[in-house]
Amino acid sequence: MGKVDVCIIAEEIAYGLPALIPFLEIAQLYTYVIKLGGTEEQKKRFLTRLAGGEIGCYALTDEGPGSDPVSMKSTASQKDSEFVINGKKRLITFADMADLFALFAREDSGDKSISCFIVEKDTPGLKFDKHCQLSGLRGHRAYDLKLENLHVPLENRIGSRGDGLRLALQVLNNTRISLAFGYVGLSRAALDAAIKHAKTRVIAGNTISKNQGISFPIAEIATEIDAARLLAYRAAVLSEREANHRKHTSMAKMFAGEVLIKAVTLANRVLGGYGSDMEWTVERYVRDAFAWIAAQGTPEVQKLIISREVIGK
């Protein structure tokens, strides 16, 4: 299945229930690590298990640095035929369901010393710290992890020493595309809810859709949703062609994320008092959007990437 096909699916899933999107996202995150950096033996050993129904997860984010993986504190020290990993990981999606973990840690104190390791569930030293309770995406589960003298075989390192950061950024450059389509899907759902209400809500003898204070913002958001989708399609097509799409991916994710916040805010305002009524879907859209916007890099991180690509470092 091509990248464009995956993105179309992501948009439709997000339109119906965005909390399901992390299943698609995490499957891609973990798989891309092995696809891009693994040996043929590692691909056979791990990817066939995923194809057989096992679940992987992606443990990149450290407790402190967040979107700055270069500053991660988790460490991996080589001892004889294995690595010993210590540290903490934050907001690791579906860690409780995972059979395999793509886990990142620093092998020494250098900036380019981060490596990626495949860790089996139930490995001694891999501990759940807490279940992170998010206001939105309630079907999504994330956990903080403690890594205490976690022993990992040498053959479970993906790529060479220090390849981890490069791999992590390559992976995110691909998965952020379908994430942008997820934002588009939820934006569509919020817009449709606003339109439906505007066409049926009668004030002073007219539906509120006839009020330009309602209809013009709806027109603007509808236009921006289409623009976001086209930006994301461009990144997806470039990805399929194996062309450089780092700038285009960050543009798509940043813009689609901004449109998402606008769309759910508009829906909330159009519905008035019903916008925060828990019997209506719009209050969930608002919670989902704000819980989701920082996934795989905040809008500000995307702007940093874009500026470096446009202006230069």
Say what the pLDDT of residue 232 is.
97
**Residue 260: pLDDT above 70?**
yes
Say what the pLDDT of residue 28 is.
83
C-alpha 299/C-alpha 313 separation (Å) is 19
SS3 117: strand
The two structure tokens encoding residue 64:
């402190």
- Which whole number is the average pLDDT over 104-115? 79
pLDDT in tens, 226-239: 999 999 999 999 99
292 residue type, one letter: W
Look at the pTM and tell me if it is higher than 0.85: yes
Strand pairing report for 114-120 and 100-106: antiparallel
Q: Which domains does the chain have, with CATH numbers?
A: 20-159 (2.40.110.10), 166-311 (1.20.140.10)
pLDDT in tens, 50-99: 889 899 999 999 887 777 788 888 999 988 889 999 999 998 988 999 99
pLDDT in tens, 209-224: 999 999 999 999 999 9
Say what the pLDDT of residue 110 is.
57
**Residue 111: pLDDT above 60?**
no
Could you give the percent of the chain with pLDDT greater than 70? 98
- 26 contacts 179 by C-beta, under 8 angstroms: no
Say what the pLDDT of residue 113 is.
87
Burial 1-35 (b: 16+ CB within 10 A, else e): eebbebbbbbbebbbeebbbbbbbbbbbbbbbbbe
- Which whole number is the average pLDDT over 105-119? 82
Instruction: Measure Cα distances from 96 to 38, 90, 149, 157, 168 in Å.
Output: 24, 13, 20, 22, 22
C-alpha 37/C-alpha 47 separation (Å) is 12
Could you give the percent of the chain with pLDDT greater than 90? 67
Say what the pLDDT of residue 109 is.
60
- Which whole number is the average pLDDT over 188-212? 95
Say what the pLDDT of residue 98 is.
92
- Which whole number is the average pLDDT over 91-111? 86
